[in-house]
Amino acid sequence: MTTIFDQLESNVQSYARSFPVVFDRAEGAAIFDGTGRRYIDFLAGAGTLNYGHNNPHCKAALLDYIDADGIAHGLDMHTRAKAEFLQSFKCHILQPRKMDYRLQFTGPTGTNAVEAAMKVARKVTGRHNIVAFTNGFHGVTLGAAAATGNQHHRGGCGIGLGGITRIPYDGYLGSDLDSTQLLQKMLLDNSSGMDAPAAVIVETVQGEGGLNVASAQWLQALQAICREHGILLIVDDIQAGCGRTGSFFSFEPLGIQPDIVTLSKSLSGMGLPFALVLIKPEYDQWQPGEHNGTFRGNNHAFITAKTALDTYWSSPRFAQDVQRKAALLHERLTAITELAAPGQIHTKGRGMMQGISFTQTQLTDAITTRCFESGLIIETSGPDSEVIKCLCPLTISDADLHAGLDILSACTAEVLSEANLLAAAA
Ligand SMILES: Cc1ncc(COP(=O)(O)O)c(C=O)c1O
């Protein structure tokens, strides 16, 4: 029987193909289909639901706000909701970290924030070129797609994507080649063919690119090169930020201070569209309205984002719990890798952004499909979908975290067994 989705929805839909049921309601780390079947959600809106589905604190605040006829849409005008969000962001995020940034509210998706970040860097420096990295993912609008590595997304743009110099990410060519040295050499060589960059845009953990982790040392070297050559450092924290790696910003423990930071995904606290660019004050050189958009600053998201900040970031407790769960996740994933014959699987990632990477890339789809049949929603990432990525809500209970990992472990063992790749001792 053809469904209304088959009849009308564009062929571009993707997640619906991996999880072919009709979802109806969701709560915390669980999502339910129309028959009432419960799935543990290790995808969590691709990192948008760090505080769980329908977070009760955010939901209550939003219901109160709507009930009081609070402003839903206000262009970029001053509203009470915006003032309260700004106040909480200053008090819980900027001040404790001694950070000084101006906040630019862009159109509500991550790619909007990336476009604005790249534009303002170009405007400030008067340069057009931007350095981006292999396996980086920054969105699919033309500017962001140019910085994105994946050919599937780039190909969809239909025009040449320019203005980017691509450099290998940390570890791309193994541990012996430090790609910051390549960048430095190219910048110093008048004949390298590289135009002086306005900015470098980097993820500290490449979420879509396969959970590649940049080391603190590599990022610090990158920052030093940026400073030396008048290049702005943009950290795209859209997926790795908002607590995902165990601190609010993914770069906090890494000894760098980006000039520009992009945030979106979990920023709103409950999955509402919302994006933000943090810009060091000296680089906030926009003219009024120069970069605009009808949906800049979603007032409902201001309310829920403020509530998430007040609830989870007013003390170190939440971050500590995320770090505890990350250690548990690592332990369980390591145990899964031990199911396989040597060299077949290894763990990747950082914090609550970890997964398992397969040498035999064709196995991952079979495993995630079986996980879904067993009640776990989990997706892959990486250029060949070779990494199974755990991106569960940070608020997940230990019981659900273990239950989800039990399913992943059992399904991995089944598929490895069928492929004759179980560890000999198993
Ligand atoms: C690091 C990063 N930047 C940008 C984006 C684009 O965000 P959006 O899909 O909301 O446009 C994503 C989305 O996955 C992302 O992971």
Query: What is the best residue among 43, 109, 111 to mutate for testing ligand 1's pocket, by most ligand atoms within 8 Å of CB?
Result: 111
CB-ligand 1 contact for 238 (6 Å cutoff): yes
Find the 167 Cα to ligand 1 centroid distance in Å: 20
First to last CA, the chain: 43
pTM of the model: 0.98
Atom of ligand 1 nearest to the CA of 109: 10
pLDDT for residue 425 is more than 60: no
Are domains 4-55+317-418 and 70-312 of this chain identical in fold?
no
CA gap 348, 125 in Å, rounded: 36
- Residue spans of the domains in the chain: they are 4-55+317-418, 70-312
Q: Torsions phi, psi of 112, nearest 5? A: -65, -40
Find the 425 Cα to ligand 1 centroid distance in Å: 41
Confidence band of 361 (pLDDT split at 50, 70, 90): very high
pLDDT of residue 275: 98
Tens-digit pLDDT profile for residues 333-342: 999 999 999 9
CA gap 362, 356 in Å, rounded: 14
Atom of ligand 1 nearest to the CA of 265: 10
pLDDT for residue 236 is more than 70: yes
pLDDT for residue 426 is more than 90: no
CB-ligand 1 contact for 204 (6 Å cutoff): no
Query: What is the best residue among 264, 266, 381 to mutate for testing ligand 1's pocket, by most ligand atoms within 8 Å of CB?
Result: 264
pLDDT of residue 1: 79
CA gap 266, 47 in Å, rounded: 7
Architecture field, domain 4-55+317-418: Alpha-Beta Complex (3.90)
CB-ligand 1 contact for 41 (6 Å cutoff): no
The residue with tokens 């129309």 is 34
pLDDT of residue 297: 86
CATH of 70-312, one of 3.40.640.10, 3.40.50.2300, 3.10.20.740, 1.10.3720.10: 3.40.640.10
Find the 208 Cα to ligand 1 centroid distance in Å: 9
Residue-by-residue DSSP string for 198-233: EEEEE-SEETTTTSEE--HHHHHHHHHHHHHHT-EE
- DSSP label at 168? P
Query: What is the best residue among 150, 203, 239, 261 to mutate for testing ligand 1's pocket, by most ligand atoms within 8 Å of CB?
Result: 239
CB-ligand 1 contact for 48 (6 Å cutoff): no
Find the 314 Cα to ligand 1 centroid distance in Å: 26
Confidence band of 364 (pLDDT split at 50, 70, 90): very high
pLDDT of residue 339: 96
User: In Å, what is the CA distance from 65 to each residue of 71, 72, 78, 134, 318?
Assistant: 8, 9, 16, 43, 25
pLDDT of residue 424: 74
Q: How much of the chain is in helix, strand and coil states, percent to nearest 5?
A: 40, 15, 40
Mean pLDDT across the chain: 97
Average pLDDT over residues 340-353: 97
Tens-digit pLDDT profile for residues 162-192: 999 999 999 999 988 999 999 999 999 999 9
Average pLDDT over residues 293-305: 95
Instruction: Name the pairing type of β-strands 260-263 and 276-279.
Output: antiparallel
Q: How many residues does the chain have?
A: 426
Contact 235/261 with Cβ under 8 angstroms?
yes
CA gap 152, 14 in Å, rounded: 13
Find the 140 Cα to ligand 1 centroid distance in Å: 8
Tens-digit pLDDT profile for residues 9-55: 999 999 999 999 999 999 999 999 999 999 999 999 999 999 999 99
Tens-digit pLDDT profile for residues 104-142: 999 999 999 999 999 999 999 999 999 999 999 999 999
